[in-house]
Amino acid sequence: MSGGSYYVPDQSRFPIFMAVSLFLLVMGASSTINNLDDPTNNSVYILYTGFGCLFLTMFFWFRQVIKEHLAGLDSNQLKQSYVYGMAWFIFSEVMFFAAFFGALFYVRTFAVPWLAGEGAKGGAIEAIELWQGFESTWPVMSTPDQGNEFVLADKSMAWPGWNHALEWLPLWNTIVLLSSSVTVHIAHLGLKNGNRRKFNIFLGITVALALIFVGLQAAEYYEAYAHYGLTLNSGIYGSTFFMLTGFHGFHVMMGGFMLSVMLARSVFAGHFEDHDHFGFEAASWYWHFVDVVWVMLFLFVYIL
């Protein structure tokens, strides 16, 4: 690009509004969580206000960016900034999941075997019978304290064997999510070839698959809580299971929301050109990322 064309926006109110929204959001969240036992506490309204302000600020902020783009204020160089920015944002998300996967690997490799006396086997230390009767298995269905503090689960979400594979929700979830990655790619190809109908249809299918995934996930959680006794409070298996799948599910909702915004922009506002659609591309990258995380989850949380 020729010099001097990088678009530096003038003053903007969005950042400070967003910082205030975040402040309200986290004050409300902390205060609500600290007073969960107190039904008269109404700090949850601060939380809602913060969330509402955050949503509105983001809506108007993105609208402003899209307007500036349509007015031709930005350049290829600015687009490149968005490309790098999104890529690094996804990298930070990868690291967030890495923390939880790291916790999973650590408890499976070290914590659980050692709680069952692995450390005493070398003979150097006498077996310390702190948790008598606890055996190292994965999934951990019976906690080291034998359920004195924790709810014991009857059943886990692990691989049920080939005979029951088809009744196993996670397999269907995997099929749904992997297909959605394909459909979002087909939509992208449609857009690149200037076929807006194809783009809209396949993006619509992707959003529908996202909804189906979230629905199946909700069904799975219901089953876990209602029939398996598997809850957040059933020891380390429940902790890692719900936190990993829960954060993934939250990211699916975010990604699905982004894709539906892109669908709405295309259908109602006619946005995106065959050579110019980074908003959609960013959302689709995010979607592929969510998909890869699921493959990891399927492998390490459900199967192995």
Site residues for another protein, 61-100, by CB under 8 A, read: 61, 71-73, 75, 77-78, 80-81, 84-85, 88-89, 91-93, 95-96, 98-100
The residue behind tokens 């999934």 is 139
How far apart are alpha carbons 302 and 233 in whole angstroms?
Answer: 19
HSE value, Cβ hemisphere, 13 Å, CA-based, for 253:
10
For residue 9, whether the previous peptide bond is cis, meaning omega lies within 30 degrees of 0, is no
- Residue among 103 and 178 whose Cβ is closer to another protein: 103
Pick the closest to residue 142 from 239, 240, 234, 243 (CA basis): 234
HSE value, Cβ hemisphere, 13 Å, CA-based, for 56:
10
- Residue among 209 and 290 whose Cβ is closer to another protein: 290
Closest CB 65 distance from another protein, rounded Å: 9
- Residue among 52 and 102 whose Cβ is closer to another protein: 102
- Residue among 77 and 193 whose Cβ is closer to another protein: 77
- Residue among 115 and 209 whose Cβ is closer to another protein: 115
All residues at 6 or more sequence positions from 196 whose CB lies less than 8 Å from its CB, including other chains? 190, 266
Residue 167 sits in the site that holds another protein (CB under 8 A): no
* Whether the Cβ atoms of residue 238 and residue 290 lie closer than 8 Å to each other: no
Binding-site member from 43, 179, 195, 231 for another protein (CB under 8 A): 231
All residues at 6 or more sequence positions from 227 whose CB lies less than 8 Å from its CB, including other chains? 154, 155
Residue 157 sits in the site that holds another protein (CB under 8 A): no
All residues at 6 or more sequence positions from 13 whose CB lies less than 8 Å from its CB, including other chains? none
Closest CB 64 distance from another protein, rounded Å: 9
- Residue among 238 and 255 whose Cβ is closer to another protein: 238
Closest CB 273 distance from another protein, rounded Å: 14
How far apart are alpha carbons 228 and 140 in whole angstroms?
Answer: 13
Question: Per-residue string for binding with another protein, 21-40, x by CB under 8 A?
Answer: -xx--xx-xx--xx-x----
Question: Per-residue string for binding with another protein, 242-271, x by CB under 8 A?
Answer: xx----------------------------
Closest CB 277 distance from another protein, rounded Å: 18
Binding-site member from 140, 210, 259, 262 for another protein (CB under 8 A): 140
Residue 174 one-letter amino acid:
T
SS3 state at 229: coil
Window contacting another protein (CB under 8 A); options: 18-26, 153-161, 203-211, 282-290: 18-26
Binding-site member from 178, 208, 211, 232 for another protein (CB under 8 A): 232
Phi-psi map region of 159: left, alpha, beta (phi>0 left; psi -120 to 50 alpha): beta
How far apart are alpha carbons 19 and 204 in whole angstroms?
Answer: 33
